[in-house]
Structure 1
Amino acid sequence: MANAHELTLFSLVVDAQSFNKAAEVAGISTPALSKKISRLEKDLGVQLLYRTTRKLSLTEAGSSLYQHAKSIELQLNDALNSVSAYRGAISGSIKMTVPTISGELLLAQVVGQFCEKYPNVNVDMRLENDFIDLVDKRIDLAIRTGVLADSSLIAKPIIKSRWVVCCAPNYIEKFGEPSNLDDLSRHNCLAYTYQNKGAREWRFTHQGEEVSIAIKGNFSANTAQALRQNALSGYGIVYVPRCCVYEHLLTGELVAILPEYQPRELGVYAVYPYTRHQPEKIKLLIEYITNAYSELSDYF
């Protein structure tokens, strides 16, 4: 009769879509894993997988078993996590994904300090701007900015991220400083394309009302760092998260413009898959990041 270990191995194969990859994760040989899955099929009296040289696919019975196996795996994780707070030492691995701007400017150092404080915790931090599927990619924690549409995930607010419109002083010397949105439409505005909407329609609040302007420019990028560099070189005006250019605003290398227009604000969230009992290490990391962001609130 099938046991929990065999169901776990079956889930690994389905998730990895490969016996070789699943065997590597499980720490056993590929032939041994293949035999275990064949024995599982024999014990259950049904075929679970269609095997070809190129891919694996689930049979109807396999699909049903996979859903139940994942449910059992979740319940097991919940049971183990529920007692994690009673263990003396915090340990284990955390796989997290963060936007490139946050990772490079702030989070890498913050998470490094967390790892120093909890040396038995290993954090694998991925810097990427794509909103990847956390469950599918087995991600424990994500830091995300903006409106979150996936209701199956838990989102804990960390801080509000203010944006800023800015440019280099030498750009103003060459082309003048815009004083309103109509002026802005005549300038070279560099679009930040890492957002669902608003890359080429900059939105503000003015005298209590929401206003926007369709911008024009000859450069766009999906990273704020690229826009910042072009702004520092005097090529145009950018509208980016304040944390990206905070130090350059302090030094005067960049200057904020359009002070009468309130820029956008977006929430920064710690996002993780639903679980009844949040692992203590995840809870501690979220608290650590939240406290660190609070101390760096001027950046935002």
Structure 2
Amino acid sequence: MSSVADLSFFALVVEANSFNKAAKVAGLSTPALSKKISKLESELGVQLLHRTTRRLSLTEAGETLYQHAATINKQVTEAIGSVSHYSEQLSGNIKISVPTISGELFLAECIAEFCQQYPEINIDVRLENEFVDLVKEGLDLAVRTGILEDSSLIAKPLIESHWVVCCAPKYIKQHGQPDTVADLVNHNCLAYTYQAKGANDWRFSHNGKAESVKVSGTFATNNSQALRKAALAGYGIAYVPRCSVYEDIEKGDLSVLLSGYQARSLGVYAVYPYTRYLPTKIRLLIEHIKQGYEQRQHYF
């Protein structure tokens, strides 16, 4: 059964007035193209072209078919053109979900800067830590920390986020300083409960070996800022992403503990639903966000 492609090849031969020239445009060998036209004639039961060594000419049936084939070619080109701009256009809407720490630290400003560069793009930013269903929620993109479990999503690495154990100097003055992971059981440890697991099971690496300790404390929260403020007030020891307390550590308001141990680290990723054709505006936004993380590498 003849197809749109067969009609397109036929129109190409007519317009080039040469099998050799048409074959080059189509990316086929001349014999292969000739075979396609012969097959089309066989299926239609009519001769479309008069072939001589010097020239090609259309039969009456060929002339009629060419008029339709040329119209179909034009319609196909227009149809492709009508949707191809969606992958290239730098306008429209983007819905993105970002984690609260990075969002409050710099991503909100970073994304607003992107909007200024591309004023035809409108971005709706949600600050949340839960790994929501992107398709169900109608999200184009998410920035997430940790291991990606949904195989239907694509994850592009942005940065590695390192954690620290820290507390206020006055806590150390009142309760002493833990020198080993095991010492943490004797301290008031503030739990960061937003994570799926490990809020009270603090894991480290020491001399190439994994170590962990089950901690306890009087205060737990799923909000990094609330945890930070509790630590700054001297109420206990926190195990948090370095970026959330970087400035406090630099100012001396919080002290890093157990520096001889390697704390946990988690990858930060730009995540989006699987697609063969990632829109240019999404690709550019991911690149912009990645640059934003890289410019603040010292925070992480």
Q: How many residues align?
A: 221
Q: Distance in 1 between matches of 2:187 and 2:254?
A: 16
**Quick one: structure 1 residues 81 and 226, their matched pair in 2 at CA, closer, same or farther if it must change by over 3 Å?**
farther
* Equivalent position of 2:35 in the other structure: none
TM-score, structure 1 length as denominator? Answer: 0.71
* Equivalent position of 1:212 in the other structure: 212
Deviations 1:163-195 (A, max 9, x none): 000000000000011000121110000000111
* Equivalent position of 1:130 in the other structure: 130
Aligned residue type for 1:250: E
Deviations 1:116-172 (A, max 9, x none): 111111000001121110000110000000111000000000000000000000000
- 5+ residue gaps, structure 1, are 1-77
Q: Displacement, 1:83?
A: 4.0
Aligned residue type for 2:159: I
Aligned residue type for 1:216: S
* Equivalent position of 2:193 in the other structure: 193
Q: Distance in 1 between matches of 2:259 and 2:214?
A: 19
SS at match of 2:135: coil
Within 5 Å, give how 1:201-280 maps onto structure 2.
201-280=201-280
Q: Displacement, 1:79?
A: 8.7
* Equivalent position of 1:102 in the other structure: 102
Contact 2:87 2:277 in 1 (8 A): no
SS at match of 1:185: helix
TM-score, structure 2 length as denominator? Answer: 0.71
* Equivalent position of 1:181 in the other structure: 181
Contact 2:101 2:244 in 1 (8 A): yes
- 5+ residue gaps, structure 2, are 1-79
User: Sequence identity of aligned pairs in percent?
Assistant: 57
Within 5 Å, give how 1:36-51 maps onto structure 2.
none
* Equivalent position of 1:13 in the other structure: none
Does 2:286 match 1:286?
yes
* Equivalent position of 2:67 in the other structure: none
Q: Displacement, 1:212?
A: 0.3
Contact 1:81 1:279 in 2 (8 A): no
RMSD of aligned C-alpha atoms? 1.5
Q: Displacement, 1:249?
A: 0.5
* Equivalent position of 2:66 in the other structure: none
Q: Distance in 2 between matches of 1:205 and 1:81?
A: 52
**Quick one: structure 1 residues 79 and 258, their matched pair in 2 at CA, closer, same or farther if it must change by over 3 Å?**
farther
**Quick one: structure 1 residues 282 and 80, their matched pair in 2 at CA, closer, same or farther if it must change by over 3 Å?**
farther
Select the structure of larger CA radius of gyration: 2
**Quick one: structure 1 residues 85 and 148, their matched pair in 2 at CA, closer, same or farther if it must change by over 3 Å?**
closer
* Equivalent position of 1:74 in the other structure: none
